[in-house]
Amino acid sequence: MRRQYAIRSLTLLAGFGLVALAVIVQMIRIQNSEQAAIFLSQGDQYAGEFRMFYPERGEIYDRNGHLLAGNRTVYEVGVSLRDMEDPESLAYILGTYLGLTYEEVFKKLIESPESWSYVVIQDYVDVNTAAALQQLVGQMEDANDFRLDGMAFKPHFQRSYPETSLASNVLGFVTRDGRGYFGIEEKYNDLLAGNPVQVWVPRDPNKATEIPRVPNGTTLVLTLNRDLQAKVESILDESLVEYGAQNGVIVVMNPRNGEILAMATTPRMDLNNYSNYFSLYNDGSQYNRSIGTAYEPGSVMKVLTMAAALDAGIVTPQTTFVDTGSIQVGGFTIQNWDREAWGQQDMTGCLQHSLNVCMAWISTQMGPQTFYGYMERFGLGHPTGVDLAGEAMGRLKMPGDSDWYNIDLGTNAFGQGVTATPLQMLMAASAIANDGRMVTPHMLYSMLRDGHQYNVPSQYGGSPITAQTARTLSQMLAVSLEAESSGALLPGYRVAGKTGTAQIPTDFGYDENQTNASFIGWGPVDDPQFMIYVWLSAPTSSIWGSQTAAPAFSKVAEQTVILLNIPPDNVRLQIASR
Amino acid sequence: MQAQATQIIHAYKQAPWRVQRQWVGAFLLFVITASLVAALYLDVTARAAVAGRGIQELRIEITAIQRANADLGTQLADLTSTSVMELRAIQLGYRPVKPGELDYVAVPGFVAPEPAILLAAEDVSNPETILPEEYTQSLIEWFDERIKFGGAK
């Protein structure tokens, strides 16, 4: 009996052992089969996904913390084809809410390739529309109606400009591909955009590894003063209407450190609707004319010519010149703007009456080497290095260039035959307003990153003239404005400056009827805190800068002293003397 | 006498029921130990899974809050934009000031404020924060680590 029992037990044991062995063999065989490798790789695909984390684009503020460029949430509305229950209902609802046709949506849902599991119906859907759709889906699910199953919403950021067109020429814009164009958005695109990070995100919560925090793009604080920018833009727009000008530029800069406080140009565009770009601008140089368009500035250039002559010791303020109304340079006759002879003048008189003949005489006295040496040191023909995309550098013809002629020495002295952008002129003249030290204009005040603020130091472009020359010329320019009771004067404040009226060159010579009216000025003269450049293109009410650009300067200066809290000279000097 | 005592001990040791009880005891000890390890493993795994899920949800919540924060900031900027504020000021009866209407008061020691640090700057100076391993490693991995590094880690 016992033996029989033992045989049965052994038989059973052997049977179970064989089965167990067969299971183990089969397990090993399956795990090492070709199919297993395929299944494993398929399983890995569902274990998680590589996800790209795009940082929030850095914001842009003005110097007082007003947001100029931020981000707002929009939605990508799509359909998960695997979860889709009723394409007809989805097509009808999505078409109605998103402004699409039923057929358009239905075709996307039905005719998508089989390998697709998700199809985008519309991107950049605003928050309100997405919320209404989400609410509808929720209500239907509550009622156990699953016809809208599969509808999906993916939120992401879109660039937003709360001030719409304010400072649009400075800021630039960001397209839907996330790239910045023009201005700050293009210049600092890499900083603002930050660094996207690709991370493997497992679905298994046991493997919930820490996704690295993706730092936002760098936030930028500009030197711009929003309120002053708004005022300057308003004055520019009014000036265009009042003087019948085609386009214009007004730039306000701090001559001590190169901070640009306002930069207005026309036309401007609503940055939230950047598709208008092509209807407003013929080419990129027009987007911000203060840096992108070089033009013949005319008599404002006389400031630089006089600075060079004073600094080189060719003339002093008391040097006299007998103006006969014309001068021969390089075989050509140069005349004054009114074709009149102004008789004996000192150098202040030459500036006050804006005498071309006097300036041509000065430049010939200096000679080309000295004159162009100074003009180069003033930065003409070179970009200013301003931190805005799309800067032009103008043209300063030099002796030896194939298109330079002897007469250029005479005409360049009063701003003909030489081109510069308004910002180049401001930079050059900053040497006069800033005791001989030329500042590099800049727009970036500081950067905010990782909880730290990094202030951008001011940069200087050399000292083309001495401090003594700068002060002397400032006084001469202030006196010349006062002597002619210029429209640029600002009651209570002593300002220095110079008008410019330049005929516009065409392919057939200079246009007799159209001019570029300009004014460059700064104040208060004894302690300059602002520099203003005004350029009105082709004004029709008057062709003269003294009657168009100069009054515009005065209006801008008036708002500048208010918004920058600059007291009148008598009050300021009274305070300083205590 | 001594031989008798040796026989009794020998008989006791060889008693079949006593040998069987030792085997049963050993087996039960193994089962209990294995159960304890399995229970501990399940507990740790479950807690890790719950914590992991919680982290995933918190991460989604953080993203949503950051997005809402950015939206609110932009909305605030919309409401305080130059054009809106100017319109509100005019509606409230204000007008732009003229230079002659301003009075300047000298305040000894006053220094005009420079643009201040924007507090909105997010502090992500320590972005490399990693979850403690207790939240992510399995019991086997924990044992493996202990065997390799002992208590040193």
The percent of residues above 90 in pLDDT, for chain A, comes to 74
| HEC per residue, A53-119 | ECCCCCCEECCCCCEEEEEEEEEEEEEECCCCCCHHHHHHHHHHHHCCCHHHHHHHHHCCCCCCCEE
CB contact under 8 A, B124 and A453: no
Q: Per-residue pLDDT for A97 more than 80?
A: yes
Instruction: Identify the structural domains of chain A with CATH numbers, from first to last.
Output: 74-159 (3.30.70.2110), 226-577 (3.40.710.10)
Q: What does the pLDDT look like over A246-303, one tens digit per residue?
A: 999 999 999 999 999 999 999 999 999 998 899 999 988 999 999 999 999 999 999 9
User: Does the structure show a pLDDT above 50 at A183?
Assistant: yes
CA A105/CA A373 separation, integer angstroms: 68
Alpha-carbon distance values, A311 to A366, A372, A436 (Å): 11, 13, 10
pLDDT of residue A208: 65
d(CA A351, CA A480): 7
CB contacts under 8 A, A 334-363 vs B, are none
CB contact under 8 A, B50 and A65: no
Contact A451/B122, CB-based, under 8 Å? yes
Whether the ω angle into residue A524 lies within 30 degrees of 0, i.e. cis, is yes
Q: What is the per-residue pLDDT for B135? A: 67
Measured on CA atoms in the order B124, A272, A422, A396, is the torsion positive or negative? positive
- Residue pair A372/A398 in contact by the 8 Å Cβ criterion: yes
Residue-wise pLDDT tens digits, A25-61:
999 998 888 888 888 877 777 777 777 778 899 999 9
Q: Which residue of B has its CA nearest to A565?
A: B104
Specify the pLDDT at position B121. Answer: 47
Q: Please indicate whether, in this complex, the C-beta atoms of A230 and B74 are within 8 angstroms of each other.
A: no
Mutation site, A206, A207, A225, A235, interface B, largest B CB count within 10 A: A206
Helix axes A302-312, A356-377, angle to 10 degrees: 80
In b/e form, how buried is each residue of A486-506, taking b as 16+ CB within 10 angstroms? bbbbbebbbbbbbbbbbbbee
Contacts of B68 in chain A (CB under 8 A): 73
CA distance B1 to chain A (A): 39
pLDDT at A180 over 80: yes
Mean pLDDT of chain A: 92
**CA of B23, closest CA in chain A: separation in Å?**
19
- All residues of chain B having their beta carbon less than 8 Å from the beta carbon of residue A256 are none
Q: How far is A57 from chain B (nearest CA, A)?
A: 10
Residue A423: which of A455, A454, A382, A462 has the closest Cα?
Answer: A382
CB contact under 8 A, A213 and B74: no
Beta carbons within 8 Å of A360's beta carbon, 6+ residues apart: A327, A329, A334, A409, A410, A411, A413, A414
Using alpha carbons, list the distances in angstroms from residue A249 to A417, A498, B135, B136. 21, 16, 61, 61
Task: Find, in chain A, the residue whose alpha carbon is nearest to that of B73.
Answer: A70
Residues of A with Cβ-Cβ distance to B61 under 8 angstroms = none
pLDDT by residue (tens digit) across A428-482? Answer: 999 999 999 999 999 999 999 887 888 889 999 999 999 999 999 999 999 999 9
Partners of A562 on chain B (C-beta within 8 Å) are 97, 99, 102
A331 contacts chain B (CB < 8 A) = no
ipTM above 0.90, yes or no: no
Q: Is A52 on the interface with B (CB under 8 A)?
A: no
A274/A167 Cα distance (integer angstroms): 14
Q: Least CA distance to A58: which residue of chain B?
A: B121
pLDDT tens-digit profile of A296-338?
Answer: 999 999 999 999 999 999 999 999 999 999 999 989 999 998 8
Measure CB to CB from residue B52 to each of A64, A208, A567 and give the nearest one: A208
Report CB contact under 8 Å: B115, A571.
no
* Chain B partners within 8 Å of A573 (Cβ): none
